Structure 1
Amino acid sequence: MSKLTVDQKSVKGLFQDCKASFLIPDYQRPYAWGEVECKTLWEDLFVFSFPNDNCDQFNEDDEYFLGPIVTFKNDDRKLEIIDGQQRLTTLMLLLRAFYNKLSHMKDQNSQAMKQDIEKCLWRANNFGAYQKDDLKIASEVATDNDKEEFIAIL
């Protein structure tokens, strides 16, 4: 019998876990979120992060509930995503967009954020260097064309 463990993690904690390797198993539905769902998530995150449109009012002690992310550790030690794959995939795409934008910024804060995002998107090799061809999330659902598009975006 499998053991059920409930952990409360921040998104950063979930994605930056160096052992995390997410897999969207073949029995999951393909990515289906459209502009409406993505915009809803973005606006919700924005309102949380910028209360009253003022970043100075952000309270680091406040918590944002993303919703449950249910995973199962398979025999390959990958975390199969049972619930939450639409949210996780959308967050990965948002992080990748931020990463691209931050690549053009040279100030210290932007570069520090870029390094934090790297830890969320890619796995590191044995020397701690992040491998841009080794995503932390993979999908068995997507067709070969979908996989190529997804990898190209990330």
Structure 2
Amino acid sequence: MANLNIEQKKVKSLFQESKYNFLIPDYQRPYAWGEVECKTLWDDLFSFSFPNDDCDQFVDDEEYFLGPIVTFKNKNQMEVIDGQQRLTTLMLLLRAFYNKLGSMKDPRSQRMKEDIEKCIWRANEFGEFETSALKINSQVATDEDKEEFISILKDGQGIGKKSRYAKNFNFFVEKIDIFFE
């Protein structure tokens, strides 16, 4: 009989503490989130983090429930049983933030950028993060879509790409640009 562990984790902990790569196995449904779901996620996170639309009143000590992410340890990977849509979308959102933070030089932005690196990529033996060592892989995406998803996470470019991954990534890039204005 398999052991069942239930843990409440912050997104940062979920991604950074994992010793394993996340794998979206071929029995999962394809990535289906579109702009409606991404907008809902963005609006929920924004209104929770900045009550009263005041960017100076960032809420850091409260917890926001994103929903369950259920995984199964299979060799050196964590197969995603439930939460694949949220997990994938969070990766796209983090990559979009990483792009924006890359041009900022203040210490807080650099710390945030370093935290995001730990969420998306694995470090090599020297502690350097390699964009080719992603912490997520999908067996359910078509070859072309999978290539776009991986490419977006590696190089942070969604322009000219046509998959749902690219559309959602570009949506977040636009929202983040507006937010930082």
**TM class, shorter-chain normalised?**
over 0.9
Moved over 6 A (4+): none
Number of the residue aligned with 2:17: 17
Q: Does 1:29 align with 2:29?
A: yes
In the TM superposition, what is the alpha-carbon distance from 1:59 to its structure 2 partner? 3.4
Aligned 8 A contact 1:14 1:20 in 2: no
In the TM superposition, what is the alpha-carbon distance from 1:18 to its structure 2 partner? 4.6
Number of the residue aligned with 1:63: 63
TM-score, normalised with respect to structure 1: 0.94
Number of the residue aligned with 1:92: 91
In the TM superposition, what is the alpha-carbon distance from 1:60 to its structure 2 partner? 2.4
Distance 1:110 1:130 in 2: 17
CA-atom RMSD in angstroms:
1.2
Identity level (%):
74
Gaps of 5+ in 1: none
Aligned 8 A contact 1:18 1:124 in 2: no
Number of corresponding residues: 153
Number of the residue aligned with 2:44: 44
Aligned 8 A contact 2:23 2:77 in 1: yes
Distance 2:36 2:59 in 1: 28
Q: Does 1:80 align with 2:79?
A: yes
Number of the residue aligned with 1:144: 143
Number of the residue aligned with 2:121: 122
In the TM superposition, what is the alpha-carbon distance from 1:40 to its structure 2 partner? 0.3
1:120/1:108 Cα in 2 relative to 1: closer, same or farther (>3 Å)?
same
Q: Which amino acid aligns with 1:81?
A: V
TM-score, normalised with respect to structure 2: 0.81
Q: Deviations over 1:50-96 (max 9, x none)?
A: 0111234333221100101100001x221100000100100100000
Gaps of 5+ in 2: 154-181
Distance 1:38 1:18 in 2: 25
Distance 1:66 1:90 in 2: 12
Number of the residue aligned with 1:2: 2
Aligned 8 A contact 2:50 2:59 in 1: no
Q: Does 1:135 align with 2:139?
A: no
Aligned 8 A contact 2:48 2:59 in 1: no
